[in-house]
Every structure is written in C-alpha cells, then in structure tokens.
Amino acid sequence: MKARILLVIASCVISIVTGLVIARGGASHQGSGAAHRPLIGLSLDTLKEERWQHDRDIFLARAKELGAEVIDQSANSDDTRQLHDVESLITRKVDALVIIPHNGAAMAKAVNLAHEAGIPVLAYDRLITDSDLDLYITFDNVKVGELQAKFIVEHRPAGRPLRLVRIYGSKTDNNAALFKKGQDNVLDPLIKSGDIQIVHEDWAEDWRPENAKKIANAAITKAGHNFDAILASNDGTAGGAIQALIEEGLAGKIIVTGQDAELPACQRIVNGTQAMTIYKPLKNLAQRAAELSVKLARGNRSSRVTS
C-alpha cells in the first residue's frame, strides 16, 4: 500500500473555550506584591512526549514576554506526584495555576486546594472533570477523532469490509474519550452496515507506546495478518503499534493513523510506515493559555493587594 501523507492543519478546528475569568480574592496580603512579577505555576502530566515539551516551551516564552515568572513541574504520569506538585506550587504562593492533568478526575482535588488558597486554575488542553475551573482551553478534540476516522474510511478497500484495530488513549484523559467520540461519529454507521469490522480494540494506559504495542500484538494474535488498518489515537501509540507491525513484516502494509505531527511520526510518514498525522497549532493554544493565565495571575495579585 502506498503510504499517503495527510497533515491536517487543524487551525480551522481550534476551539478555544474561554470561560468566565473570575479573579479569586481572599488570600493574605503579600507586601508590595503589585510591584512584583506575577507568578504562575505550571503542572504538567509528562514531558516524555515531544508535544508537551513544545507546549511548555511556548508557554514559558510567552509568559516571560508578558512579564510573568513561571515555575513548571512534570509529574511523570503519576497522580500522587501531580497532586504533590500542585501543593508545593500553592505553598510557593503562585498567583495562578495551569494544570495539564494526568488524570482529569483525580485533579479535581488539586483545583479545590488551589481555590481554598485563593488561586485561580486554568485547565490546559485536558479537562479536569467535576471541578469549578476558572478556565479551560483546548482544541476541538471530537473533530480530531472525526478526521482520523475519515482518513481510514476514505482509504478502505473496495468491494469488501475494512478490518480495523482501534487503539484508544489513556482512560484517565478526557480527551481520549473525545477522540473516540469523534471516531465513533464517523465509524458507527459503517460498523452497523457491516462495511467496517472491528477486529480488536483497547485503551492504551497512560498513552504509552509500549502499551499500544501490546494491543497491536494482541490483535495480531487474534486475527493474524488479516486486518487492514490501525486507528491509533496519537503519534505515540501509532509508534508502538508500528513497532509490532515491523516485527511481523507488516509495516507499510497496514494503514496507521496518528495525531500531534511529532517529528518521529513525520519521519514514519516519509518512510511509509505511518499513513497520516494531525497537526494541531500548539503555538496558538500555548500562547493564548499564557496570556490568559497572566491575566488571571495579575487579577488575583491585585485583589490580594487591595483586599
């Protein structure tokens, strides 16, 4: 199969959800705080994936340009550690918190702790569920899932059903469910009509490539070489799945999707083992998040000083 390159510039689908900015007061005075630079705490799930390194770097650069200081911490996909990171940022008296949650449900506790300390919270790219967030900024994740599935549908074999393996992301990441929702929007009618058969499907814990590889191996154990495509939800999981295909001599013969336009994925597209990726304009997201969090921080700082 001829590998095809599809880099979808997703700027058209970027949907920045900017909620109501509520500057939270109530914390103690901080001396001549107004004269100081606003301090922002940035708590990241992980820096192991290339995309988050870019997010962080762009965020830091924009916040610095705007005169803010940022303390960033990465939790290495560990909920206890991420909660601890947030607690330590609260202790260091940040004026605003930006959180990329490893686990959207678990981090609700961090939002409560921050609010008790009078610190507003922005959820970056991933939703923190069941929490009273001050802001949430993200892409149109359902649209991303739809684009991935559409690619598969457009490249299905003529005259027979497409046999599909589905690799979802991490169950603890709300985005993984949104990507699946978008994929389902496109695939469900074709699954019902019998034009697409699901050979195997599973969630890749923590989005780890090695877990995606295990899922691809399980699919091969089940179906042998008798499948056409792997709908992998991002480039990391695509990389893991492709590793399994390489070991079976199937790489380049099976359509594999992705997202994030990470460098290794673009290289795989060039060498024909990955079929597509989706580029999301991280610069827009990270810069906008930096601008909004600086506003939150300044608002909070001045209300602390005047209260």
CB-nearer residue toward ligand BGC: 144 or 196? 144
Least distance (Å) between residue 23 CB and ligand BGC:
28
Q: Which is nearer to ligand BGC, 77 or 273 (CB)?
A: 77
Number of residues that bind ligand BGC (CB under 6 A): 11
Per-residue x/- mask for ligand BGC, residues 119 to 138, rule CB under 6 A?
A: ------xx------------
Nearer to ligand BGC, 125 or 228 (CB): 125
**In the complex, what is the shortest distance from the CB of residue 254 to ligand BGC, in angstroms, rounded to a whole number?**
20
| Euclidean distance between CA atoms 77 and 74, whole angstroms | 8
Q: Which of residues 25-84 bind ligand BGC (CB under 6 A)?
A: 49, 51
Asked if 206 interacts with ligand BGC (CB under 6 A), we say: no
Closer residue to ligand BGC in complex, CB, 51/155: 51
Mark 145-174 with x for binding to ligand BGC (rule: CB under 6 A) and - for no binding.
------------------------x---x-
Q: In this structure, how many other beta carbons lie within 10 angstroms of the beta carbon of residue 28?
A: 10
Report in angstroms how near the CB of residue 181 gets to ligand BGC at its nearest: 13
CA count, 13 A, side-chain hemisphere, 161: 16
The single residue among 207, 229, 242, 285 that binds ligand BGC, judged by CB under 6 A, is 207
Q: Which is nearer to ligand BGC, 259 or 293 (CB)?
A: 259
Residue 47 phi/psi, 5° resolution? -120, 10
Interface pick for ligand BGC out of 77, 82, 175, 274 (rule CB under 6 A): 175
